[in-house]
Amino acid sequence: MTSSVKSCRIGGEFELKCSDLEFDTAANPVLPSFGAPQETWLDTGRSALAVIARHLAHTAEGSTVWLPAYCCESIVAPFLRKSLHVRFYSVGERLNRIDADPSRGDTLLFIHYFGCRNRTALHRIEEFRSASICVIEDCVQAVLTTGIGTHGDHALTSLRKLLPQPDGAMLASRETIAINADAADEEFVSARVVGKLQRGAAARPEAFLPLFERSESRLADDVPRTMSWISQQLLGRTDLPMVAARRTANFATLRQGLADIAPRIGIVPLLPGLDVGEVPLGFPVVVGEGRRDALRAHLAGWGIFCPIHWDLAHLAGAVFAEERALSASMLTLPIDQRYDENDMSIILASLSTFCRDCS
């Protein structure tokens, strides 16, 4: 890499500053709501799924849980731990299909990928409901997108991918279900807060990355827990409209800037665009010719850190060729509210040098 590399750090875990933690302890924050009959704030999306899986184990024994082949292993695990029968369905290379054939009494989970409404699933909601198929609406990647979270029998969100809170996830249900959540895991929360503070103070990665890794390892037990007090306070003072506007503007800046660059460097935006009210998780792109990892390393050299989604180990030999190809070729460019048009320009500048630097 040449001297043209900018001094920046874009992407990765959200930071916190000490001033972020100066709370009014008497404040009673107002938390977002889907308006469902039962809504409970838990620590993580895994906890929400664990509650749903426990409920299904008691009420839908012997039925099948249909999950999208393109999903995180943490979505699969809670259902397997309750010995529920899991089948996967294809969503295709553009994440816009539901190749599933659920029967009466089955459960189907669908995902609003990357902040966009899953239009295919929403168009089939009435079909599923009339066939007595339980629907789980996964809104984790679309926390701020409007018009979702009210269609399924159960819906869940999680804040950790879009906001700096150490934890926080909501489970909404049309019916009353047992929650039985333990208290927040203070060791998990403390490790994440300290790590975020260190990252915010520009500490070296070896100082804070082990804290994040250690905290994630504590989620393996699938014990549902309540949302921590500190996350409630942080969320209550977060300007969510600003977050939504900034993410949407950054997405538009990248999309416009990539119009000429993308074909030249062999990448294709995964999403066709955003509809009104959609707030993106990131800007996912598909990288051709097996060069995804090379592009990811190139961007890291510029201080731009891009997540990849997911290794699909849960498929265990099943075909799902389109999902496997997507898993091997996609990465997500960061566009979150920490950044502005100047940061998007840095991302575009780094992308424009990819072919030259990798030749």
Domain ranges of the chain: 38-173, 240-358
pLDDT bucket at 1, cuts 50 / 70 / 90: very low
Confidence of residue 139 (pLDDT cuts 50, 70, 90): very high
Among 55, 127, 50, 57, CA closest to 85: 57
Which residue do the tokens 């409970």 mark? 40
Look at 313 and 28; give whichever has higher pLDDT: 313
* Paired residues of 38 in beta bridges: 173
Using an 8 Å Cβ cutoff, are 158 and 281 in contact? Answer: no
| Confidence class for position 171, pLDDT limits 50, 70, 90 | very high
Instruction: Band the pLDDT of 219: cuts 50, 70, 90.
Output: confident
What does R_g of the chain's alpha carbons equal in angstroms? 20
357: pLDDT confidence band, cut at 50, 70 and 90? Answer: low
Q: Region 331-358: what's the mean pLDDT?
A: 92
Average pLDDT of the residues of the chain: 93
Residue 11 has pLDDT above 50, yes or no: yes
CATH code: domain 38-173 is 3.40.640.10
Q: What values do phi and psi take at 138, rounded to 5?
A: -90, 105
How far are the Cα atoms of 115, 123, 231, 233, 272 from residue 281, in angstroms, in the given order? 5, 22, 20, 23, 14
Tell me yes or no: is domain 240-358 CATH 3.90.1150.10.
yes
User: What pLDDT, on the 0 to 100 scale, is given for residue 3?
Assistant: 35
38-173 and 240-358: identical CATH topology: no
Going by pLDDT thresholds of 50, 70 and 90, the confidence category of residue 8 is confident
Please write the tens of the pLDDT for every residue from 231-278.
999 998 899 999 999 999 999 999 999 998 999 999 999 998 999 999
